[in-house]
Amino acid sequence: MAEPHELSALEQWQALQTGELSPSELAEHYLDRIEALNPALGAFVTITAERAWARARDVEQNVPRTAPLWGLPFADKDLQLRAGVPARFGSRLMRDFVPEQSDDLVLALDEAGGVSLGKTSTPEFGLPSYTEGLAGPPARNPWNVALGAGGSSGGAAVAVAARLLPFAPGSDGGGSVRIPAAACGLVGVKPSRGRVPSASGIDKLGGLPVAGPLARTVADAALLLDAMVTPGGNHPDHHFALRAPHDDGPLLGHAVRGEGRFQLGVMTSSAWDEDYDVVLAPEALAALDAARTQLDVLGHGLDDLALEPDPSYVPAFRTIWQAGAASIPAEGDEQEALLDPLTRWLMRRGRALSARALAEALAALSAFERSFIRQLSHVDAVLTPALALTPRPVGWYDQVDPERNFAQQVQYTPFTSMVNVSGLPAIVLPVLQTADGLPMGVQLIGRPGGEATLLAIGAQLERHFRWQERVPPEPWRGL
């Protein structure tokens, strides 16, 4: 048999089911890889080996094999609370915080039979779209360690791309699953608002952040997403959220079969274009063209789309982004000095906002949501570039001027945040490699509750591009 990390997550699950692998053996295999390779990559901020071994033995003895993730390793993003494990939120301010209770998503993945190996790195409080900060080393892109991994689920993306995990959960409030997935050559799914009961987004400011999977294949992403939606199996039983419309049944079948022909839009405009200088790199356009050509060959209908200008979007989104930082638990100069400069600026701007400004921003984004869905409603899905530029070098973002920093983030990731504002599902797919060997991908935006369509189209593209066979060259081994 191939080494376990060379198998897909679904193949590893099948090996667990047949007894070819045990949860303990699989956990030990990945912990060995993490110990050897993580120092050069910065994927993990906390490794919980003893807890993982104990958990793997408990799964073997006490958890039914019918559990959706039985024995499969994963890791919690360091924005999620796991009782007894440090939760540092990518911040020096939180370096000593150890929660006493676990978040709902953590409990759901445990119920699904998964085995957590630790915590993956994230930028400070998950605010930027890159995983670099003062609290620890950057998350480095396995395809080229001089480049960043994106964010805020950067550590999760590095871990999956470098085969330190079979897949990983992330959270996505403005692109935080899809951006690092695209940068690291992975499949990343942002579910519809309300789809994942334990991290629905409905209870968050603006309804922006939801939980979603990062994986190497479309089927692996569906496997993890199914477990997030119904951790007890295929029946929702007591797990309840304001679900997205359409079928709440398992999504894995759609990802495996990859059936259907759909009407698709193709779009290179974004909600940021009126206020920021967004220029698509040739590599981004090449990825879009490659996906479009193959979708045409597969028999899908394709129409060009362009967003209607909306001058209210940029100031409204900036307001919500700043307001989200207002509750950071930093009081006084001494604690504020522990924050990264960007976080400190966001927190201060957020705390200075008036209730009226916040209410007006929320109203503007609600209006954008209705308009965005209306403009896309005549197609089954919309194809966009995943990122506007190739993966950015570590240290590329301005750490002194927050306005320039924000502009850089927009110029790199203009196609993601509008999906969070609209509550729609989206998937990022790694369709090609550049001449320098870097992954470049595309994004598909679906209708409300349209994850099955996105996974089906993704599976069709995967059969052609075979991205699951691409492996980072691992020049960082032994560094």
What amino acid positions are annotated as catalytic residues? 77, 152, 176
* Cis amide prior to 152 (ω within 30 degrees): yes
Alpha carbon distance 342, 196 (integer Å) = 30
Neighbours of 17 (CB within 10 A): 13
3-state SS, residue 225? helix
Using an 8 Å Cβ cutoff, are 71 and 61 in contact? no
Three-point CA angle 406, 46, 164, nearest 5°: 85
Instruction: Give the burial string for 304-330 (b: 16+ CB within 10 Å, else e).
Output: ebebeebebbbebbbbbbbbbbbebeb
Q: What are phi and psi of 465, to 5 degrees?
A: -85, -20
Three-point CA angle 207, 209, 214, nearest 5°: 145
Alpha carbon distance 119, 44 (integer Å) = 6
Q: What one-letter code names the amino acid at 174?
A: G
Q: What one-letter code names the amino acid at 173?
A: G
Closest by alpha carbon to 305, among 362, 358, 384, 208? 384
